[in-house]
Structure 1
Amino acid sequence: MTVLVVGASGATGSKLVEQLLVQNQKVKVIVRSPEKLPESWKTNDNLQIITASVLDLSEAEMRTIVSDCDAVASCLGHNLTFKGIYGQPRKLVTDATRRLCDAIKANHPQSTTKFVLMNTTGNRNRDLKEPISFAQKCVIGLLRLLLPPHVDNEKAADYLRTQIGQNDNYIEWAAVRPDGLINEDTVTPYEIHPSPTRSAIFNAGKVSRINVAHFMASLISDKNLWNKWKGQMPVIYGKNY
């Protein structure tokens, strides 16, 4: 299996690459600054490093990159700096998701390609009409006004829900929603739910980035797990928090 990972140099994306390599998958990564990557990646025969900004690639280049990929995983996010939050590109995650899906479709693959998007519990799955309190609605409304990355995350998931949907001929998808992300060195017990079991604003849980990466890698490689969660937005919590 060949998997393309975008956002591979980020805190969670790098963990996903490592989990996929542990599974002995072939991995492609698109990164702007390959010099920052671990040395072990540069000498790994199962890893192909493509030096580029994902939104700067031409349509033809994008089609070539995804042409032999069985799955695409996006861990893209905005840097937590003023420029990262309020500068361009404001629709990084949404535009990358759309362009990658367009490239997959343009190739007319013989079997469906998995697309796994890292999202957030602050975004509701509107297919399930998930209820939230009035207070949380107010806070989310403020986030939409004040934090462009939140809107970007919402629109990326909405693209998969509404434009790819449940019966696309070429793409199947899942949007993984972690709660508060923390750093840990090893995979620990975690639990998966169809919807949040606690308020993402007023009673947020925690989950380690390596656990999120482990679940995303498992979705890609485990057919039964994929069939359980495809077309959905599973929520992941660490069991110890």
Structure 2
Amino acid sequence: MTTLVIGASGATGRLLVEQLLGRGEHVRAIVRERGAMPETLATNDRLTIIEASVWHISDQVMAEYVRGCDAIASCLGHNLSFKGMFLPPRQLVTDTTRRLCSAVQKNKPERTVKFVLMNTAGNSNRDLVEQLSTGHKCVISLLRLLLPPHADNEDAAEHLRTRIGRNDDTISWVVVRPDALIDESEPSDVTLHASPTRSAIFNAGETSRINVADFMATLIDDDAVWERWVGQMPVIYNS
């Protein structure tokens, strides 16, 4: 199996690449700078590093990168700086998701391609009636207006939920929603839920990046787990 990983040099993306390689999978990783990948990963013969800015990849070239991939995993996000949060590209995650989906559809693969999108527990699954307090809804509305990365995360998930849907012949998808991200060295026990069990604003839980990477790799690697969550937006917490 071959997986294209977007955002592969980020804090979670590197862990996902490591998890996939550890399971014997082949990985194509798009990174801005080859040196951003740890040497222990960069020398793995099952890893192909594509040195490019995803924002500047043409649609034709993107289709070539996607060709032959069984899965796509996006850990893409905005840098937590003024430039990263407020300057273009403000719809980085959404536009990349849209272009990746378009590339898959253009290639007309023989088998459905899995698409795993890392998102956030602060984004609601509009297919479900998720219980949110009035205060929570007010804060999220403000974040949507004031912080472009939040709106970008929402729109990226909405593209999969509404534009691709659950009956597309070429793409099936899962949106993974961690809560407050922390660093841990090893995977640990997690709980998975169809909807948040606590407020991401007022009572956030914790999710380690390694657990997010481990779950995303499991979705890609294990068809039974995929069938459990396909077309859904599972929330993941550390136990």
Residue 88 of structure 1 is matched in structure 2 by 88
Residue 195 of structure 1 is matched in structure 2 by 195
| Whole-angstrom CA distance in 2 between matches of 1:110 and 1:189 | 36
Residue 46 of structure 1 is matched in structure 2 by 46
The answer to whether the aligner puts 1:97 opposite 2:122 as a matched pair is no
SS of equivalent residue, structure 1 residue 174 = strand
Q: Residues 11-45 of structure 1, C-alpha deviation per residue, up to 9 Å, x if partnerless?
A: 11111001001101000011111112111222110
| Whole-angstrom CA distance in 1 between matches of 2:211 and 2:150 | 22
| Whole-angstrom CA distance in 2 between matches of 1:117 and 1:93 | 9
| Whole-angstrom CA distance in 2 between matches of 1:145 and 1:59 | 30
**Aligned-pair CA distance for 1:58:** 1.2
Which runs of no fewer than 5 residues in structure 1 stay unpaired? none
Residue 216 of structure 2 is matched in structure 1 by 216
| Whole-angstrom CA distance in 2 between matches of 1:36 and 1:15 | 13
* TM-score for both structures, normalised by structure 2: 0.99
Residue 139 of structure 2 is matched in structure 1 by 139
When the two structures are aligned, how many residues end up with a matched partner? Answer: 239
| Whole-angstrom CA distance in 2 between matches of 1:186 and 1:41 | 17
Supply the RMSD in Å over aligned alpha carbons: 0.6
Percent identical pairs in the alignment equals 61
**Aligned-pair CA distance for 1:114:** 0.1
* TM-score for both structures, normalised by structure 1: 0.98
Amino acid at match of 1:218: T
Which runs of no fewer than 5 residues in structure 2 stay unpaired? none
The answer to whether the aligner puts 1:148 opposite 2:134 as a matched pair is no
Amino acid at match of 1:18: E
Aligned counterparts, 1:111-190, within 5 A: 111-190=111-190
Q: Residues 156-191 of structure 1, C-alpha deviation per residue, up to 9 Å, x if partnerless?
A: 000000000010000000000000100000011111
Q: Residues 55-101 of structure 1, C-alpha deviation per residue, up to 9 Å, x if partnerless?
A: 21111111111111000000000000111110110000000000000
Aligned counterparts, 1:30-69, within 5 A: 30-69=30-69
The answer to whether the aligner puts 1:206 opposite 2:178 as a matched pair is no
**Aligned-pair CA distance for 1:48:** 0.2
